[in-house]
Amino acid sequence: MQTEIYGLPAFADNYIWCLRRGNDIAVVDPGDAAPVLDHLASSGLRLRAILITHHHADHTGGIADLASQAPVPVYGPAGEAIAGVDHPVADGDRITLPGVGLELEVIDVAGHTRGHVAYYRRGFLFCGDTLFACGCGRLFEGSAAQLHLALSRIAALPPETLVYCAHEYTASGIRFASAVEPDNTAVADRGRQVAAQRAAGLPTVPFAIAEELATNPFLRCRQATVVATAGRRLGRPADDELEVFTVLRNWRDSF
Ligand SMILES: [Zn+2]
């Protein structure tokens, strides 16, 4: 039986991702219980597991209500204290989702928060607030070096891997990518495609890692065009790839 993946919109721009096989589903980062409870009620599906990538409230706020309706395992990062997480996971762990039956690998992607994890299986990745389309998470707790390492790990996954991030930030990411690389035609092409998708009310997530390698400046810190832009921001050549990344991350915060 095939696993189906689809998103439930939450808050202004969050996605709560659902993995469904048969009548069973697992949900990723339910910041709000209401959309999940509505979905369960209207579909007749059974919630079998909850996956959490990091501790922020817009990813965890629905845990208590969901777990009180149906006692299910709640997987979450061992490196963060999150109420309701009863299956702490760490880098390299493999978990099998009850009902849904899928085995997922846990990848440490600390940076946005200090214990942030992602869940991977060949073909798809749930990365929370680590990688966005043409962007990446803000540095709340970790260092630029940590986030850079996390993004490098994601970039090394097979290019066809579909990334299910937790926010619809793509249009904003493309504006930033265009500022970093004004002559990158892949960014311009993606901008037109995303504008059409958003005008039609369609999500721009998931997206393939291959698209990010061509358009996401945070994954392109070794490209001459990106290095040159970082040098202009610094007023001198950047020392190394990490400094390029750090310049971009700081710029993005005030962009
Ligand atoms: Zn977050």
pLDDT in tens, 184-229: 999 999 999 999 999 999 999 999 999 999 999 999 999 999 999 9
Q: Mind spelling out the 3-state secondary structure of the chain?
A: CCCEEEEEEECCCEEEEEEEECCEEEEECCCCHHHHHHHHHHHCCEEEEEECCCCCHHHHCCHHHHHHHCCCCEEEECCCCCCCCCEEECCCCEEECCCCCCEEEEEECCCCCCCCEEEEECCEEEEECCEECCEECCCCCCCHHHHHHHHHHHHCCCCCCEEEECECCHHHHHHHHHHHCCCCHHHHHHHHHHHHHHHCCCCCCCEEHHHHHHHCHHHCCCCHHHHHHHHHHHCCCCCCHHHHHHHHHHHHHHC
CB contact set of 62 (below 8 Å; sequence gap of 6+): 16, 30, 31, 32, 33, 34, 36
Encode pLDDT of 14-35 as tens digits: 999 999 999 999 999 999 999 9
- Ligand 1 mean position, distance from CA 218 (Å): 17
Contact 9, 20 (CB under 8 A): no
Q: Is the pLDDT of residue 1 over 90?
A: no
Encode pLDDT of 72-108 as tens digits: 999 999 999 999 999 999 999 999 999 999 999 999 9
- Ligand 1 mean position, distance from CA 183 (Å): 31
User: What pLDDT, on the 0 to 100 scale, is given for residue 70?
Assistant: 83
- Ligand 1 mean position, distance from CA 54 (Å): 7
User: What pLDDT, on the 0 to 100 scale, is given for residue 96?
Assistant: 97
- Ligand 1 mean position, distance from CA 5 (Å): 21
User: What pLDDT, on the 0 to 100 scale, is given for residue 116?
Assistant: 98
- The rounded percent of the chain whose pLDDT value lies above 70 is 100
Encode pLDDT of 50-67 as tens digits: 999 999 999 999 999 999
User: What pLDDT, on the 0 to 100 scale, is given for residue 74?
Assistant: 98
- Ligand 1 mean position, distance from CA 163 (Å): 16
- Ligand 1 mean position, distance from CA 160 (Å): 25
User: What pLDDT, on the 0 to 100 scale, is given for residue 89?
Assistant: 98
- Calpha distance 161→154 (Å, rounded): 9
- Ligand 1 mean position, distance from CA 145 (Å): 18
- Ligand 1 mean position, distance from CA 191 (Å): 25
- Ligand 1 mean position, distance from CA 235 (Å): 32
- Ligand 1 mean position, distance from CA 31 (Å): 10
User: What pLDDT, on the 0 to 100 scale, is given for residue 2?
Assistant: 85
Mean pLDDT, rounded, for 68-73: 92
- Ligand 1 mean position, distance from CA 236 (Å): 33
- The rounded percent of the chain whose pLDDT value lies above 90 is 98
- Ligand 1 mean position, distance from CA 99 (Å): 28
User: What pLDDT, on the 0 to 100 scale, is given for residue 20?
Assistant: 98
- Ligand 1 mean position, distance from CA 60 (Å): 10
Q: Is the pLDDT of residue 109 over 90?
A: yes
Mean pLDDT, rounded, for 110-122: 98
Encode pLDDT of 126-158 as tens digits: 999 999 999 999 999 999 999 999 999 999 999
- Ligand 1 mean position, distance from CA 96 (Å): 25
- Ligand 1 mean position, distance from CA 186 (Å): 28
- Ligand 1 mean position, distance from CA 57 (Å): 8
| pTM for the whole structure | 0.97
